[in-house]
Structure 1
Amino acid sequence: MSKSTSEVQSATSLVFASYDAFTDVPYSGSQSAVILGASGISEAHRAKIAKEIGAPATSFVDDVSGNRVKVQFFSTVMELPMCGHGTVCLITRLVENNLLKSGGEDWNEVILDLPKGPSVVQYRRNTAGRCEVMLNVTPADYSPAEINMDVLAKLLGVDCTAFSQNLPVEVATGDFIHLCLPLRNCAAMNALQPDFGALADFCIANNLETIATFSTETVNPDRNIHVRDFCPAVGVAESAAAGTTNAALAGYLWRNNLITPNSDGLVTVQAEQGIKLGRPSHVTSHIATTKGLIKRIQVGGVASKIIEGFLNTKMDAA
């Protein structure tokens, strides 16, 4: 039987909540709003609401039926084909509202019915009792970056000496298109001061959606990678935590032999992000490999609820 979310709405208001993703510490990580019972909201109004809320992502839940969730994600400027941090917040919200079974420490599977097609998500209670969410991400295709690095360095507020001289700059094309840009160390990462308006134009001109800068030197010794992801072309100047970006970077690390699979062909990448923004996050990526090929990539973590209330959905004058 369908678990409709229609009971949480009235004629002019819907229940919504805001979460911080990829963190168990409130007021860090990356924000995402979740709106239940949204089937009556048009796409044009969804875009308006997402812009008004102002979070990097807002999910509009049309229906929950068994283990299938019909949902749509929007940034402040566009519809998103899918969203890693938005998914972590979405599943956490549905579990907390008993629209999905809470389960135990065994993994449960959910199918997100997105406009572009279904997406598989797993979730469970971790040892701390938090809802841990892992999203299947399309493995990216990688190609050499054919861009003007001098121009890019200027737009990032540094010179080319900030970039790694040992690792390639590659374009990762999957659910989004990321420029995987390795930097020398954390000092070079901290020195980045992007011109976001010009960087957005650069991304559009070069068919890129995010500039994923990273260093294999980290602040936290338990992490594998330090990340700063610049996304002005899709409505976020700098993301405090980005699931799809980290999945692409995990694949980059694997293909460039920067991380080694275990005897079962499994790779785990622990990333730190958002530190420069004062919103530290922890993003986990799992890669399953076989015969030198990626079989599956998952990315995820936990989320913390920040705000809960009612959203005014009345769009006409009183």
Structure 2
Amino acid sequence: MCGHVTVAIFAAMFEDERITEGRYEQHTRAGIIPVEVDSGGKIWMSQPLPRFDLNAVSVAEAAPLLGLESKAIIDVASASSALRHVFVEVPDEQTLARLRPDDEGLRGLSASRGIDTIGVWCWQSGGQGRLRVRLRDLCHGVGDPEEAASGTTNGALACHIHRAGRIDAATNGEVRMIGEQGFEMGRASRVETILTEHSGNIASVRVGGHAEARLKGQYFLK
């Protein structure tokens, strides 16, 4: 299961006119994932409903592996809407920028605790039904030190924030989150998440965005 790869694949097929706007299914180890393509080529991927508290990491464990002092960490939590994520909240973008990840240590922690990614994030703005965050996603558990765009991580983070009671749904029952990611890598991205709730509980999770073509070519087989 991988959000940004899903968006990229469907965006490429749409651009090549191999598919049109509509609803599709993607078969993954996380289950059958509905994917929607709108007329402008924006891709929306549904995610499984969230689970929480699957992985426990303390502030004292996380801080040295991120190159931070413990007092620079506000909270550590975990959530999953496909992959297993640990979320480390820090106060601001400046703290995100000065992370110094211990790659070997993070690989070891992720392997021992069954963690797929560690999302380090800060709150930017919010109001009823809307919020904006800045995120860095350290993906040592799946073999990549950092990703510039992470659909599954953004979806799970929105679920965590909702569960913590830090954002109320709009009158239509939706919560929309913008996740800004990849800025520290020089690969800025914007990931949108929409939660719907019913009786105060999350009823659906969708993550979406546009993809930009970075490379095109042809393969010649002999």
Common topology (TM > 0.5): yes
Q: How far apart, CA to CA, are the structure 2 residues paired with 1:241 and 1:138?
A: 19
- 88, 94, 100: which one aligns with 2:19: 100
State percent identity of aligned pairs.
26
Q: How far apart, CA to CA, are the structure 1 residues paired with 2:194 and 2:30?
A: 23
Q: How far apart, CA to CA, are the structure 1 residues paired with 2:68 and 2:220?
A: 44
User: What SS is found at the alignment partner of 1:305?
Assistant: coil
Q: How far apart, CA to CA, are the structure 1 residues paired with 2:79 and 2:220?
A: 39
Bigger share in helix:
2
User: What SS is found at the alignment partner of 1:306?
Assistant: coil
Q: How far apart, CA to CA, are the structure 1 residues paired with 2:44 and 2:59?
A: 34
- 45, 55, 63: which one aligns with 1:153: 63
Q: How far apart, CA to CA, are the structure 1 residues paired with 2:55 and 2:82?
A: 18
Evaluate the alpha carbon distance shift between residue 161 and residue 116 of structure 1 in structure 2; reply closer, same or farther with a 3 A threshold. Answer: closer
User: What SS is found at the alignment partner of 1:304?
Assistant: coil
Determine the structure 1 residue equivalent to 2:35: 121
Q: Does 1:111 align with 2:19?
A: no
Kept in 2, the 8 Å contact 1:139–1:248? The answer is no
- 180, 185, 196: which one aligns with 2:87: 180
Q: Deviations over 1:233-282 (max 9, x none)?
A: 21211111100000000111111122221112111001101111111110
Evaluate the alpha carbon distance shift between residue 313 and residue 203 of structure 1 in structure 2; reply closer, same or farther with a 3 A threshold. Answer: farther
Q: TM-score scaled to structure 1, two decimals?
A: 0.64
Q: Deviations over 1:173-197 (max 9, x none)?
A: 3311000111122222112110112
Q: How far apart, CA to CA, are the structure 2 residues paired with 1:305 and 1:224?
A: 25
Determine the structure 1 residue equivalent to 2:107: 200
Number of residue equivalences: 218
Kept in 1, the 8 Å contact 2:135–2:179? The answer is yes
Q: How far apart, CA to CA, are the structure 1 residues paired with 2:163 and 2:29?
A: 31
Evaluate the alpha carbon distance shift between residue 96 and residue 145 of structure 1 in structure 2; reply closer, same or farther with a 3 A threshold. Answer: closer
Q: How far apart, CA to CA, are the structure 2 residues paired with 1:150 and 1:187?
A: 21
- 157, 178, 185: which one aligns with 1:277: 185
Q: TM-score scaled to structure 2, two decimals?
A: 0.91
Larger Rg over CA atoms: 1
Kept in 2, the 8 Å contact 1:285–1:298? The answer is yes
Q: How far apart, CA to CA, are the structure 2 residues paired with 1:86 and 1:251?
A: 21
Q: How far apart, CA to CA, are the structure 2 residues paired with 1:163 and 1:145?
A: 17
CA RMSD of superposed structures (Å): 2.0
Determine the structure 1 residue equivalent to 2:158: 250
Q: Deviations over 1:157-188 (max 9, x none)?
A: 11111111xxx422113311000111122222
Gaps of at least 5 residues in structure 1 are 1-81
Determine the structure 1 residue equivalent to 2:4: 85
Kept in 2, the 8 Å contact 1:137–1:297? The answer is yes
Kept in 2, the 8 Å contact 1:229–1:245? The answer is yes
Q: How far apart, CA to CA, are the structure 2 residues paired with 1:273 and 1:169?
A: 19
Kept in 2, the 8 Å contact 1:144–1:169? The answer is no
Cα offset, 1:151, TM superposition: 2.8
User: What SS is found at the alignment partner of 1:158?
Assistant: coil
Evaluate the alpha carbon distance shift between residue 294 and residue 188 of structure 1 in structure 2; reply closer, same or farther with a 3 A threshold. Answer: same
Kept in 1, the 8 Å contact 2:103–2:145? The answer is yes
Task: Give, as a single letter, the amino acid of the residue that structure 2 aligns with 1:184.
Answer: P
Determine the structure 2 residue equivalent to 1:304: 212
Q: Deviations over 1:106-132 (max 9, x none)?
A: xx2111133554210011134xxxx10
Gaps of at least 5 residues in structure 2 are none
